[in-house]
Amino acid sequence: MKNKVKIFDSTLRDGAQAEGISFTVDDKIKIAIALDNLGISYLEAGNPGSNPKDLNFFKKIKKHKFKNLQLVAFGSTRRKKIRVEEDQNVQSLISAHTPVVAIFGKSWDLHATEVIKCSLEENLSMIQETITFFKKLGKEVIYDAEHFYDGYKNNPEYALKTLNAAVKGGADCLVLCDTNGGSFPLEIYEITKKIKKQFSLPLGMHCHNDTGFAVANSIMGVEAGATQVQGTYLGFGERCGNANLSTIIPNLQIKKNLKCIPENQIKNISSTARYISEIANLHFNEKDPYIGHSSFAHKGGMHIDGVSKISRSFEHIDPGLVGNERKFLMSEVAGRSTILAKIKKLYPEVTKDTPSIKTIIDQVKSLENQGYQFEAAESSFELLIKKQLGHHKPFFKLEHFRIIGEKPVSKKNHGSSAIIKIKVDQKTEITASEGDGPVHALDTALRKALEVFYPALKNVHLTDYKVRVLNAETATAAKVRVLIESTDGKDSWTTIGVSTDIIEASWIALVDSIEYKLYKDLTKKNLKP
């Protein structure tokens, strides 16, 4: 790889502005370390002048030595009618003690005159003086030209003046921002190309996703000459989010042969994404390019047959390059080759002539006719294979459970409780637990009992619970499908249960979830149940 694109991650600052995101200081430190391990060049970690949490983060993170990234504090130019030295936000950036600062200023004349209510000339002075101030302190200064593309389209002459002010101040990089996220890829390319011809400084891209073009716009900026790309690792951010770096990095590094992170780290982009998603307490988007489980999932018979013969016939890259894997989805349209491919992944010795293959195919089709949907619950399907091939040994036996539901007097009290008795080998365990509903109470009681025998289950929790009524015409006697998604903090898996009794359907899915986790742990240790 001859050329390099520096990746500037803003997950801890721009990402924290997303709806539903609230990082603790410890969360931010964990994410910073993960991104450093991945090889990100810059990490914009927050605005120390905006809130005590960010200031506390910068104090704590000073103890950590990074291997790859440089920490960046983010803030604005000085306020109008005040000296740089007297601006409190500017002073707070100094207190962060970062080697790099990112300073944003107004590029759009509308913002200067109508939003911050200053003259166009003073806005230029604010940009130049603030950057000069930090350069004298020995900082690397990245200048974020906020709303640049809108500003350029509205008044190109003034937008260029704001960049010249940054250059005069001594900026190390000019970042062109599509802050409203409303520009189209060809617009981005043409404008960036013009800017590249007029300035010798490195250019960066900062795109938002309000029209769904954040990734495309970032890449078009690179095509036009930008050598820095800003974004958030999973694309979350204010409104519709920011450019998704987990998509941009492999696009540039694998497709365009531009180095973004160390070559040996590309395989870790998927696991890093799941780790950050877990810390952020976000539901992982399985349809995200490269990193999602659906990225290399095949369901149609012709696709499966083709990819089995020549993978590149239906896959744009080898999924292993990005730490992902190919999936053949189990469904009523799946044929013998699909089932066999899935089984051979677990048991390579199985052939198409193995008698159990037909039995498994018939059972899959029968269960899906009853309402099961294995394409959404492949973990349950793996357990089904183990049972049919005689490789299944239950990790526990249910003796009995009892669920009690009531209308609590106080909203603070739980409305359900569960008592459960299980047996592991010859030992029994009886536990009870309360919950916000019968399934929650049952889940809590089951885990409480099993943790005595399997301590690893303490790290497992449910991340999603879905109930689908399959035949609504039968009213309260309807059959339901329950899908449960679980995680141990590193991996996630989905299991399924179907019954006319929602408790039984949930129980089936819960048991599969726990047994799948325990099988997975044994596999890692090369042990047998």
All domains of the chain in start order, with CATH: 6-280 (3.20.20.70), 293-388 (no CATH)
Q: What is the mean pLDDT of residues 150-173?
A: 98
Between 476 and 33, residue with greater pLDDT? 33
Q: What is the mean pLDDT of residues 287-313?
A: 76
Instruction: Please tell me the predicted confidence (pLDDT) of residue 388.
Output: 83
Q: What is the mean pLDDT of residues 474-487?
A: 82
The answer on pLDDT for 200 being more than 60 is yes
Between 186 and 89, residue with greater pLDDT? 186
Split at pLDDT 50, 70, 90, the class of 51 is: confident
- Tokens 């002539």 label which residue? 353
The answer on pLDDT for 182 being more than 60 is yes
* Helix ranges restricted to H, 438-496: 438-450
The answer on pLDDT for 176 being more than 60 is yes
Q: Number of C-alpha atoms within 13 angstroms, CB side, residue 48?
A: 23
The answer on pLDDT for 408 being more than 80 is no
> What value does the mean pLDDT of the chain take?
88
The answer on pLDDT for 49 being more than 90 is no
Q: With DSSP H G I counted as helix, E B as strand and the rest as coil, what are the percentages for the chain, rounded to 5?
A: 45, 20, 35
Give the residue from 130, 491, 68, 426 showing the smallest Cα distance to 275.
491
> 17-31, 305-319, 352-366: which has the highest mean pLDDT?
17-31
Q: What is the mean pLDDT of residues 478-505?
A: 88
Split at pLDDT 50, 70, 90, the class of 322 is: very high
In the beta sheet, which residues pair with residue 465?
A: 484
For CA atoms 303, 308, 252, 294, give the dihedral sign: positive
d(CA 276, CA 18): 14
Which three-class secondary structure state does DSSP give residue 443?
Answer: helix
Express as a percent the part of the chain with pLDDT over 70: 91
Q: Which class for 46: exposed (0-12), middle (13-18), buried (19 or more C-beta within 10 A)?
A: buried
The answer on pLDDT for 235 being more than 90 is yes
The answer on pLDDT for 384 being more than 70 is yes
Between 308 and 172, residue with greater pLDDT? 172
Q: What is the mean pLDDT of residues 169-177?
A: 98
Split at pLDDT 50, 70, 90, the class of 315 is: confident
List CB contacts of 275: < 8 A, sequence separation 6 or more.
34, 490
Q: What is the mean pLDDT of residues 31-39?
A: 96
d(CA 383, CA 512): 7
pTM of the model: 0.71
List CB contacts of 304: < 8 A, sequence separation 6 or more.
298, 328, 334, 335, 337, 338, 341
> 58-62, 167-171, 303-307, 412-416: which has the highest mean pLDDT?
167-171
Instruction: Please tell me the predicted confidence (pLDDT) of residue 464.
Output: 83
The answer on pLDDT for 451 being more than 60 is yes
Instruction: Please tell me the predicted confidence (pLDDT) of residue 302.
Output: 63
Split at pLDDT 50, 70, 90, the class of 353 is: confident
Instruction: Please tell me the predicted confidence (pLDDT) of residue 468.
Output: 80
DSSP letter, residue 242: B
Query: Rounded to 5 degrees, what angle do the CA atoms 149, 155, 156 make?
Result: 65
Q: What is the mean pLDDT of residues 521-526?
A: 73
Instruction: Please tell me the predicted confidence (pLDDT) of residue 401.
Output: 92
Q: Answer yes or no: are the C-beta atoms of 54 and 48 closer than 8 Å.
A: yes
d(CA 264, CA 477): 55
70-76 and 140-146 as β-strands: parallel, antiparallel, unpaired?
A: unpaired
- 466-480, 482-496, 500-514 — which is least confidently predicted? 466-480
> 52-66, 260-274, 394-408: which has the highest mean pLDDT?
260-274
Instruction: Please tell me the predicted confidence (pLDDT) of residue 7.
Output: 98
Q: Which residues of 470-485 are buried (b: 16+ CB within 10 A; e: fewer)?
A: eeeeeeeeebbbbbbb
Q: What is the mean pLDDT of residues 177-198?
A: 97
Between 13 and 336, residue with greater pLDDT? 13
> 246-250, 412-416, 501-505: which has the highest mean pLDDT?
246-250
Query: Rounded to 5 degrees, what angle do the CA atoms 6, 7, 8 make?
Result: 115
